[in-house]
Each structure stands twice: as C-alpha cells, then as structure tokens.
Amino acid sequence: MAADVETIDTVNALAEGGYKWGFSTDIEMDLAPKGLNEDIIRLISSRKNEPEWLLEWRLKSYAAWLTMEEPDWAMVNHPPIDYQDLHYYAAPKKKPGPKSLDEVDPELLKMYEKLGIPLKERAILAGVELPEGEAPQVAVDAVFDSVSVATTFRSTLAKSGVIFCPISEAVQDHPELVRKYLGSVVPAGDNYFAALNSAVFTDGSFVFIPKGVRCPMELSTYFRINARNTGQFERTLIIVEDGGHVSYLEGCTAPQRDENQLHAAVVELVAMDDATIKYSTVQNWYPGDVNGVGGIYNFVTKRGACRGARSKISWTQVETGSAITWKYPSCILQGDDSVGEFYSVAVTTNHQQADTGTKMIHIGRNTRSTIVAKGISAGKSNNTYRGLVRVLPKAEGARNFTQCDSLLIGNQCGAHTVPYIESRNATAKLEHEATTSKISDDQLFYCRSRGLSQEDAVGMIVNGFCRDVLKELPMEFAVEAQKLLAVSLEGSVG
Amino acid sequence: MLEIKNLEAAIGDKAILRGIDLVVPKGEVHAIMGPNGSGKSTLSYVLSGRPGYDVTGGTATFDGHDLLSMEPEERAALGVFLAFQYPVELPGVGNANFLRTALNAQKRARGEAEIDAPGFLKLARAEMKRLSMPDDMLKRNVNVGFSGGEKKRNEVLQMAILKPKLAILDETDSGLDIDALKIVADGVNSQRGPDFSAVVITHYQRLLDYIVPDRVHVLSAGRIIRSGGPELALELEANGYAAIVAEAA
Amino acid sequence: MSAALKPTALQSSALAFLSRFEGLRARLPGDVAIRDEAAGILRSTGLPGPREEAWRYTHLRSLAEVEFNEPLTPVADCADLLSRIPDFDAPRLIFVDGRFRDDLSTVPSLAAVRVGGPAFGALAQPASEKLVALNTMLAEDGADISVPAGVDAGTVVLVSLGTDLHGRAVAFHPRHNISLGKGAKLTLVEIAVGDGVYLHNPVLSVAVSPEATMTHLRIQDESRSAFVLSTVYADVGEGGTYDSFLLALGGKLTRAEIHARLGGPNAIAHLNAAQLLADHQHADFTTIVSHDAPNCASRQTVKTVLSGKSRGVFQGKIEVARVAQKTDGYQMNQALLLSPDCEMDSKPQLEIYADDVKCSHGATVGELDAEQLFYLRSRGVPAAEARMMLVRAFLDEALEPITHEATRTAMEHAIALWWERQAA
C-alpha cells in the first residue's frame, strides 16, 4: 500500500493547477519529414527493418485510407485536420530498443519521474526491485512518440512463456504470430483512423500468452506523445491462447502544447477458448487549456475478439484527458458462452469533447455482455455515450445489461446518450437503462456539514457515482484514477 | 457556549426568523419546540450554514467564533454538528469512507493527528456496538436504501464518532418507533458532559422524556415566545401550542 | 452495417414525384411558392437514404421500386372500408385517397373546420424533413381544424381510407393543421384503413396554446401492402398538454415520426405507442421531444410486439435545451419477440444541455417469460390463450393512460382481431 499512498501524495503535489503532465522532454529526435505518402511509409518500414509483407500491408492500408472519408457521425467538432502537416515518424536519436536501462537516455528516466505516475513502475524502470510481496510486480513497456524505449521483466516473463515486447521487435522475432493476427480483429480498412494507423503505425506493445498460462504479473504500457507536430499511431496486439489469462494496463500522457496533436491507435485483442483478457486504460492526454486551445485528438480503435468458447474480454477505461475522444472499445462475442464487459468513466471539462462507448456483437450462443458507462460533464464540455449492442440470429440465449449514467456539473455543458440496441434473436434478452442527474446542493451541504471541503465533497460524490467502474480497475490503478477524477474536476463546482 | 442575538433570516423575500435570542451554555441541553412553520428547521440550517438562507440581521457565535461568517465545513471543524431531519443519500459513497474522510478533514482543520484505517474501524465498531447497530451499516452506501429509522441512527452514529461540541438535532425523533427513539436518545445522552451542549429541535414532547433538557424554548413565527424548564414541555403537551401562542400575542 | 442502397432507386423515385409535381403544378390549390421551395429541396436532397442517421433502420428501397399514380377522383361509396371504422358518437371527417369526402362526413359544431386544400400551418417546414418536403410539394387537401380559446370541442374523428380500386398504386399526401386556442380542448381520433398498394404520406401540425389540451389517439390499421409515412409536428405552449397514443397494426413499410416541442413552462407531452407486427411488416416509430422551456415533462412508453419475419424500430430522442431546467423526461421502449425470425432495433437517445434535470430512459428486448407462461398453463390456461394474456399484459402499460372509452374499446377490439389473425 505504501506505493499507493506515495502516488496519491505525488498526484496531490502535482495538483497545483492546470494540466499536471504538460512538460515536454528535451531529447534529440529523429524526425521524418512532415507529410504522408508512400515514400514516408516505405521510410517507416525500412527504419523498422520490416519484411516485405508488412510493407505491402501498410501500402494497401494507405491506398484504402485514400479512398475513405473522415467519419462525421460522432458528436464532436474540430477544424479539419491537415494530415500532410504532421510528422509520421519520430524517435529518440539514441538507437531504439535499448538492451538495458543503462542505455536509456537519462532525459527519458527524468520524464518518467515527472510523470508522477506510475511510481512503482518507474522504480522498476529505474532498476529498483521492490521487496518480495510488497506489491504485485508490473512489467512495463514504455512507448515514447513512435518508439518503444524500454520493456521490463522480459526475462522473468519469458520463463513462463509469455512474450511481452515492442511490436516492432515481435515483427522481427515472432513474424508468424504477428502476420497471423495483425489486422485480424481490426482489418486495415475498418475505418478511417484504423486505416491510417495500419499505414503508418510505428510501435506499440505485443503480448502473447501461451496455452494454459496465467501471466504472473500485470503488464503495463505507458504511452507518451512528446515531439511537436507528431502523430502517434501505436499498435497493440494481445493474443491469449486457450486457458490463458492476462491483465494489461495502459496509461497515457502528452505535453502541453497549443496546437492539436493527433493520436490514432489501434488495439487488437484475441482470446481463444477459456482465455481471459482484462484491459484497463487511464487516459490522461493533454486536454487543451481552459479556452479549448490545444490538446490531443484521440481517435482510437480498440476491439477484442472472443474467438474461443467461454473466453472473456473486459475493458475498463477512465478517460479524463484529450481535447477530443473518439473511442469505442468493443467485443466480438464469437465463441459460445463468451463474455464481454465494458466499464467506463469519461470526464470532460472546459471545452473537451468525448464521444465514447462500446460495441458488443453477439454471435455465439449464450454470449453475455455488460456495459456500465458513467459520464461526467463540466465546464463547456460535451460528453456522449454511444454504444451498440447487436444480437445476430444464431446468438441463442444472449444477454446484455447496459447502465449509462450522466452527471452534469454546471449548466454550460452537455451530456448525451446514444444507444443502439439491435436484436435478431427472440431468445436474447437485452436491458438498457440510462439516467441523468447532477450533484445536488443537499448532498454537497450534507458533506460540508460533516467537515469536508467543497472540492473534497465533489470528489467524494463523483467517486461514488463512478464506484461500479472504479472497482473493476486493478488496485494500483484505481487509487490513481480516483485522484485523477478529483483533480480533473477541480474548480468545476461553486 | 452558543450565543444567538437578535438573529433574523429569510429565504428569498420571505422572513422566517424574526429576531431570535438564545444562549446555550456549555454542558447544557436546550429543547426548541414549536408548531410547524415556526422556523425550527431554518434555525438549524442557519446555524450550520446551509446555502439558500439569507441572514438579514443579528449574530450567532460559538465559543466566541462568529458562526455566520464561516463555511459549513469550518463550522463542523469547530465542533458544530447538525443531525438532519432528512439525511441525504450519497450513492456509491461507503459509510466508513465517508465518516473517516470527514473525521480526518476535521482533525486536519484543527491541527490534530489523523486517524488511520484500523484505528478508525476500531472506533466505529465500538460506537456501533453501543448504539446496537449491525456492522454492515459501515459497508453500505451513505443512507442509500436505509429505512427512516436507520437513517436517524446513522446520524447519531456520525455524532458519536465526530464527537461535536454542539449538536443540533433537527426533529431527529420524527418517524422513529419507540425502540429507535430510545437508541437515539441514549446516543445523545452518552455524549452529555461539561464540553457538550445540544439544541434539540422537536415538535413533540415525547423525545424529551428520554433526552431531558435543561431548558425548553417555544418558537413561534420566528421568535422565541417563552422559555422555561423541562416542565414547559409537559405544559405544551397538555395544552397545545395554540394556548401559548395566544398568550404571547 | 447495412448494405449500401443503390442510389439510383431512391433518386429515380424522387424524380418521379418531382415530374408528377411539374405536371400538377398549375392545378394544385394554394400558394405555389412554398411548393416550389419544397420541390427545390427534394430535387437537391432526394428521399431519405440509409446513410442518414435518422433513417439507418428504415430503408425506403421497397417504396422506391413502386410506381405511384395520382389518385382518381373518388366516387365509390367505400362502404366496405367504412364498415371497418368503429362507430363513434362524434363528428367525422372522411378523406378517401387523401381527398375530403363531403358526402361521407359530418362536420363538428364546436370547432371551425376548413377543407378543400392543404392546411400547411406554420410548424412543419419542408426544410426540416424530406418527407415534409414531399408532402408540401404534392399536398392536395387536408383539414384545418381550430378550436377557439376556452372551448372544449369534444371529439373529432379524422378518417383516412386508402384504395386501389383499379389495381393501380396511388400516392396521397394530406396536410392537416390543428390549432387550439388558450385553454381549449380537443380529442382527435385518427383512424386509417385501406386496401391494396398505396403511399399515405400525411403531415399533421398541432399548435397547442397555453393551458390547452390536445388528445391525439391514432389507430393505424392500413393495408398490409401500403406504405405509410406520417409526420406530426406538435408545439405546446405554457401549461399545455399534447397527449398522443398510436396503435400501429397495418402497413407494409411504415414510419410514424413525431416532433414535439415543449415551448412554454410546465408544458406536457405524452408520446405513447403500441406496435403489433407480423409477416414481413416493417414499422418505425420515431420521436423527437424538444424541451425548450423549464419545468416541462415528457413521457413515452412504447411497446412493440413482433411476430413472423417482422422488424420493429424505435428511435426516441429527448433534447433538453440549456433553458429547460427542471425538465422531467422519461422514455421506455420494450419489445417482445414472439418468433425466431423477427428483429427489433431500438435507439433511445438523450441530448441534454441543462444540469438540473431528471431524464431517464430504458429499453428491453426479449421473449415471453417462460416461467409466467408455464405458470398460466399449469393453472389450465391453454398455451395460445396464455400467450395472448401475457401479450395483453405487456401492452397494458402503454394502453392504460387512454381514458377515451370509445377509442380504448376500438383499440382493444383491433388488438384482439390482430391476435386472432396471428393465431389462425
């Protein structure tokens, strides 16, 4: 528990106003010229020393992207993105993929320090092993702009057969696995941003859990955008074979800049028979300033395929950052008796816009899904839940339960709920509930009359509102997430 | 010591309190009785700082501190506790977490050492045992799904744990059966001592059989129209408010 | 996602309507400028297509494949269709293929009625919906009903009969306008029946003045081969009520769209419906409730019973503007799937810009409860009857608020007939 307390203190210390993770790290960068064309894609592929099939896949994705239009159905507004005004490759000048932490640029280590989170992971990154039993061990992969810079605990994991490495390395070391699964859940032409990512992705994490293996520790990746005018397009691929189990955590930050930066990641999960994947995200990209200047455009495609019988994929997300969030972590419930879960907290303040939710596609028999989404809007922000539950004709006995709750703080914001419920099987049973409320003056006064400050009272009530989601997070993330919620909403009430 | 001088308060344009004078010395329990609409609840809210009430005149001090200029949480840290007539529900907020956070916020404000989780649990369990409350009350969300009686008992539990110097009980007896009433009264009586004073607001004399007040005040149309010893409550019970109100007019 | 529709089918259908308009233009009654505007809109945007969010579940492809003609001058006595109209002790306005039939109608005494041309009203604008544009372009007739301030005009029955006397598909676009003065009251019972293939594309505007109450009860029991695309615009002033219920039984492809705007404080809207679908029927019930003033309440209970290979759609949106504090919005959509081949698509939406509001919605989709069914059967109720009982119980919540006895009876009768037809 010590680390948690320390983390809270750190977050508190950082909580002195504005975005707390908005520094940029001064590291020499290897930047590709701005713009997107086949040559840039060839450049990325050659820098990564990729096999021919992958370059072809990228070029095909690029060709598909050229024929597509940016989607406009989400409740978000932004000026047109100039895709030619971005760098599609940025890497620290030091050679990528250091063999040990000693090779890591000290500036990078300093950056982890400044991140405040994750302390435990930073300690590990810095080579300090925690005493046995003090805390669950967490293996970390850190992705800095386009390149994965350090992955810890690889040898420990390898002993149990777990592969956890940058995807660029997996392309070299496990090409058969990457080739088999890359694009198998999110096809290259799935949507505009997925196509873009498929064309230009530079790094991300790769996880493989073999048959019957329960991953001995949490796996964690920290993504950070650092270079100016850089798009970050990471690609994550997690494959869990029969009976395997993994819990994967993802954290995100970005420096404070007054131009918008593009982030278009793709995450693909594959769960075979009896496999379980738990994927947790705390997204805290730079949200822009109080006037809505700057911030990350977060256009992410996350999808998991429950291919095997009795497989389970559970998404938990706490989204407090980004100027715009466009994100629908989904489950394709193909295997009979497979289970999909989506637990989400999305907080928007100032001028943030979030359009987020999930898709649960019931294909197999007796497939079950649960959706719990909590949206909190403050300031002049707009917060939309958009979710699809689709039951196909063969999904006998499918079940879904959806609960969407919105909390409005102040009368300049918006909270929206857009569920799509489609059933083509009479034996399926779907339930959806949504409510909208505010923090009542009575609740605030009650807390204050017991001695809590206004801000603490808001924090406590909001955390109570989000309880059903936060309890799904791994312990070490849950505490951080709670504080993050309180910090995000500072100054929103009163 | 609570000292209220010529206190006037309004909700919007409507004057509710029209000049209250009241002194509750340290260690004493005073009852305030009065018909509906006399301003009893308003008095409790004004003393505890609920937003929406405009103080239009007069003063209220506790141990020399000007209550009326303080935020609700500052008053709580000073030792003022309001037992709500209608305790508020806080979905998702665990009772134990809520109480410990409140207790530590008050301790912090007073420059005292905070209490850790095990220490708090020990304290809470002991108080709950004294109040004959089941342990699971701590695990449940604050007042969510509580019966009327449970809510009131929860207020008394909070009082027992927060150990205020001045408790204001706003019709804590309403909606309680006789057993719950006894438990609530025991909770208050156990706090009684030289450093504890209380203002017990009630419509009925019944509660005062169990919490015997040092003084009884009758509130009508925003003013205290009569004060006396515990026997005044019996007189009210026998003759009703109308007689006393008429007499004072 | 749905297969992309060949754009040409919808386009050519729109062109056919446009060319019909060109032919009729000189003969159509009333202001031609508004029709030209509507034609311009339709020319540039075409008919609603599946790429539009509001039309993602209802495709007009099958409609686009039909060639529609102008209705013939109605001369027939329509006795057969008329016999299907329940007998109300109330004045009734009868339209055959969209044209008013003086000889079959009785005119109300307490409300002013004008017929003989489209009653455009001010609420439904061609620019807001493509179907309103289509209607505006081609509307020939309609009822303009106004109830003076303070008057309770009782019940008026508005009947639509659709025919295909000569085996030719016809299209008609009646345009009605109802206005209630301050404190006025009206119960409008709309009943639509028909035979054969036709397109019934009515637009009805309802202006409810402050403190007025409009009860709008609709029985849609049209031909199982018909296309029925209706649009209602209701605007409710301070303290006014628009209370509507739709029972939808007929049609091949139907959509009932209601836009209700609560424009004054303390206004109320009820948009309830029951849809009973069989065979290959497709029925879409779409509502948009706009809370534009504080302290208003809206209630929607929508029940859909599906059998055969039918498809039900519910789209409901509650919009709460920034000024609409203390809004109380509630929406419940429940669907009962009686056969393995039917499909229900439900999209209940909240769009909220005010913080002190109480808005909630719920949706459930499922089959009859096996436990309940077994319980009834174990007490001796035959399976078919037990199912009927449970379906009736399911519908009851939506039907319950209907206090107009004659309509309620007519609806119950129609539901019983529907069930008999399914059981047969």
Full DSSP string of A185-198: SS-TTSSHHHHHHH
A363-415 pLDDT, tens per residue? Answer: 999 999 999 999 999 999 999 999 999 999 999 999 999 999 999 998 899 99
Cβ neighbour number for residue B90 with a 10 Å cutoff: 24
Q: Please answer yes or no on whether B92 and A451 come within 8 Å at the CB atom.
A: no
Residues in chain B with CB shorter than 8 Å from the CB of A464 are 90-93, 141
B76-125 pLDDT, tens per residue? Answer: 999 999 998 888 888 888 888 888 988 998 999 899 999 998 999 999 99
Residue in B92, B99, B103 nearest the CB of A465 = B92
B154-200 pLDDT, tens per residue? Answer: 999 999 999 999 999 999 888 788 888 888 898 889 999 999 999 99
Span of A114-123, A244-253, A348-357 with lowest mean pLDDT: A114-123
| Distance between CA atoms of residues A491 and A378, nearest Å | 10
Distance from CA of C320 to the nearest CA of A (A): 9
Picking from A439, A443, A448 by the largest number of B CB atoms within 10 A of its own CB, the best residue to mutate is A448
Q: Please answer yes or no on whether C343 and A424 come within 8 Å at the CB atom.
A: yes
Stretch A279-284: mean pLDDT: 90
Beta strands (DSSP E) in A36-153 are: 90-92, 138-144, 147-151
Mean pLDDT of chain B: 90
A62 vs A20, which has greater pLDDT?
A: A62
Distance from CA of A360 to the nearest CA of C (A): 14
Share of chain A above pLDDT 70, in %: 78
B touches A, CB cut-off 8 Å, minimum 3 pairs: yes
Residue C312: inside a domain? no
Instruction: Kindly report the pTM of this predicted structure.
Output: 0.85
Q: Domain boundary at C244, C262, C280, which?
A: C262
C touches B, CB cut-off 8 Å, minimum 3 pairs: no
- Minimum Cα–Cα distance from A399: chain C residue: C366
Q: Is C53 on the interface with A (CB under 8 A)?
A: yes
Eight-state DSSP code of residue B196: B
Q: How many CB pairs under 8 A join A and C?
A: 111
Amino acid A100: pLDDT: 45
Residue C274: inside a domain? no
Total domains present in chain C = 2
Q: Please answer yes or no on whether C365 and A428 come within 8 Å at the CB atom.
A: yes
Confidence of residue A123 (pLDDT cuts 50, 70, 90): very low
Q: Is C351 on the interface with A (CB under 8 A)?
A: yes
Q: Please answer yes or no on whether B87 and A441 come within 8 Å at the CB atom.
A: no
Residues in chain A with CB shorter than 8 Å from the CB of B49 are 445, 448-449
State whether C81 and C227 are in the same domain.
yes
Distance from CA of A1 to the nearest CA of B (A): 12
Beta-bridge partner residues of C170: C69, C198
Residues in chain A with CB shorter than 8 Å from the CB of B99 are 450
Eight-state DSSP code of residue A155: H
Which residue range(s) make up the domain with C131? Answer: 9-262
Distance from CA of B174 to the nearest CA of A (A): 19
Q: Domain boundary at C194, C227, C262, which?
A: C262
Confidence of residue A125 (pLDDT cuts 50, 70, 90): very low
Whether the pLDDT of residue A80 is over 60: the answer is: yes
The domain segmentation of chain A, as residue ranges, is 18-488
Q: Is A432 on the interface with C (CB under 8 A)?
A: yes
Do residues C252 and C281 lie in contact, with contact meaning Cβ atoms separated by under 8 Å?
yes
Q: Measure Cα distances from A420 to A232, A387, C1, C346, C396 in Å.
A: 30, 6, 12, 6, 25
Confidence of residue A10 (pLDDT cuts 50, 70, 90): very low
Whether the pLDDT of residue A223 is over 80: the answer is: no
Secondary structure (DSSP) of A279-313:
EEEEE------TT--SEEEEEEEEEEEE-STT-EE
The chain B residues in contact with chain A (CB within 8 A) are 48-52, 71-73, 75-77, 81-82, 84, 87-93, 97-99, 101-103, 105-106, 109, 141, 158, 162
Residues in chain A with CB shorter than 8 Å from the CB of C338 are 426
Whether the pLDDT of residue A57 is over 50: the answer is: yes
Residue in C356, C357, C366 nearest the CB of A429 = C366
Residues in chain A with CB shorter than 8 Å from the CB of C363 are 419, 421, 430-432
The domain segmentation of chain B, as residue ranges, is 2-248
Q: Is A438 on the interface with C (CB under 8 A)?
A: yes
- Minimum Cα–Cα distance from A405: chain C residue: C360
Distance from CA of A17 to the nearest CA of B (A): 21
Stretch A448-462: mean pLDDT: 91
| Distance between CA atoms of residues A351 and A79, nearest Å | 14
- Minimum Cα–Cα distance from A397: chain C residue: C366
Those chains having 3 or more beta-carbon pairs within 8 angstroms of chain C are A
Amino acid A148: pLDDT: 59
Amino acid A256: pLDDT: 62
Whether the pLDDT of residue A482 is over 90: the answer is: no
- For C244-261, letters b (16+ CB in 10 Å) and e give bbbbbbbbbbbbbbbbbb
Whether the ipTM is more than 0.95: the answer is no
Distance from CA of B51 to the nearest CA of A (A): 8
Distance from CA of A478 to the nearest CA of C (A): 28
pLDDT by residue, tens only, chain C of 424 residues: 444 545 568 888 999 999 999 999 999 988 899 999 999 999 998 999 888 999 999 999 999 999 998 887 666 678 889 999 988 889 999 999 999 999 999 989 889 999 989 999 999 998 889 999 999 999 999 999 999 999 999 999 999 999 876 778 999 999 999 999 999 999 999 999 999 999 999 999 999 999 999 999 999 999 999 999 999 999 999 999 999 999 999 999 999 999 999 999 999 999 999 999 999 999 999 999 999 999 999 999 999 999 999 999 999 999 999 999 999 999 999 999 999 999 999 999 999 999 899 999 999 999 988 888 877 777 777 788 888 888 988 998 888 889 999 999 999 999 999 988 887 6
Cβ neighbour number for residue C326 with a 10 Å cutoff: 16
A332-375 pLDDT, tens per residue? Answer: 999 999 999 999 999 999 999 999 999 999 999 999 999 999 99
Residue C179: inside a domain? yes
Amino acid C5: pLDDT: 45
Residues in chain A with CB shorter than 8 Å from the CB of C337 are 423, 425-426, 428
Q: Please answer yes or no on whether A432 and C348 come within 8 Å at the CB atom.
A: yes
Residue in A440, A460, A468 nearest the CB of B98 = A460
Q: How many CB pairs under 8 A join A and B?
A: 81
Beta strands (DSSP E) in C281-340 are: 282-291, 297-306, 311-320, 328-337
The first and second tokens of residue A296, run together, are 């990350």
CA A392 to chain centre: 28
Secondary structure (DSSP) of B101-122:
HHHHHHHHHTTPPPPPHHHHHH
Q: Please answer yes or no on whether B162 and A450 come within 8 Å at the CB atom.
A: yes
Those chains having 3 or more beta-carbon pairs within 8 angstroms of chain B are A
Do residues C14 and C47 lie in contact, with contact meaning Cβ atoms separated by under 8 Å?
yes
Do residues C370 and C338 lie in contact, with contact meaning Cβ atoms separated by under 8 Å?
no
Picking from B47, B48, B50, B154 by the largest number of A CB atoms within 10 A of its own CB, the best residue to mutate is B50
Instruction: Report the alpha-carbon angle A376-A382-A383, nearest 5.
Output: 45
Q: Is A460 on the interface with B (CB under 8 A)?
A: yes
The first and second tokens of residue C105, run together, are 């109608």
In the block, residue with structure tokens 């459930």:
C364
| Class of the CATH-defined domain B2-248 | alpha beta
| Distance between CA atoms of residues B107 and B99, nearest Å | 12
Residue C320: inside a domain? no
Q: Is A425 on the interface with C (CB under 8 A)?
A: yes
The first and second tokens of residue C113, run together, are 């009625």
Confidence of residue A494 (pLDDT cuts 50, 70, 90): low
Q: Domain boundary at C211, C238, C262, which?
A: C262
